Amino acid sequence: MTFSNRLFFRSPFLLLCALLLPPLLKAQQTMADPAGKALISGSIQDEETGEPIGFANVLIYAADDSLLLSGTISEADGTFRFEALAFGIYDLRINYLGYEDEFLEEIALTQREPTASLGPISLSQAANLLGEVEVTAERSLMEFGLAKKVFNLEDNLATLGGDAIEALKNIP
């Protein structure tokens, strides 16, 4: 085959690739872009003191099917942001250890109102009263020291009612 014949057979293939590849790449790019550029922001504070609550969990759900979409942790100053969200209706759940969970429902993001500034969200402290705890323990049968072994025979059923010689015979 000569050079011109090879170029002739390659030309239709190159032309076909040049025509079909750009639309496929454009489709991939469109799928990766979010449908909207919506934003949800706010801050979290203690209900009693008004102090910011940093490092609280903030979860965002789709309102129609309660599917968890994303989550973040609030900054040290209590602020949080969800950026590049698609337009739609969302629910928010905020929780932090020692506080009651807070639910915000039906947060609508539209082309007309693409941002939702929730302002300060107050969390109330959870009043968890713990019941009484009783701790019981038993000494182990053998304790190993530096230069000795100690055998505790007080709970050994084989030594009840016997004397020390019988107890020493039953020591492993």
CA distance 171 to 166: 9
Name the pTM for this structure.
0.56
Q: Which pLDDT tens digit goes with each residue over 29-65?
A: 444 444 568 999 999 999 999 999 999 999 999 999 9
How far, in whole angstroms, is CA 135 from its chain's centroid?
33
Please list, in sequence order, all residues whose beta carbon lies within 8 angstroms of the beta carbon of residue 85, skipping any fewer than 6 positions away.
34, 36, 38, 39, 40, 60, 109
**CATH class in words for 38-123:** mainly beta
Q: Are 154 and 167 in contact (CB under 8 A)?
A: no
DSSP 59: E
Q: Which pLDDT tens digit goes with each residue over 97-150?
A: 999 999 999 999 999 999 999 999 999 998 876 778 888 877 777 777 787 877
Which whole number is the average pLDDT over 83-107? Answer: 94
Angle at 140 between CA 138 and CA 143, to 5 degrees: 140
What are the residue ranges of CATH 2.60.40.10 in the chain?
Answer: 38-123
Q: Are 87 and 111 in contact (CB under 8 A)?
A: yes
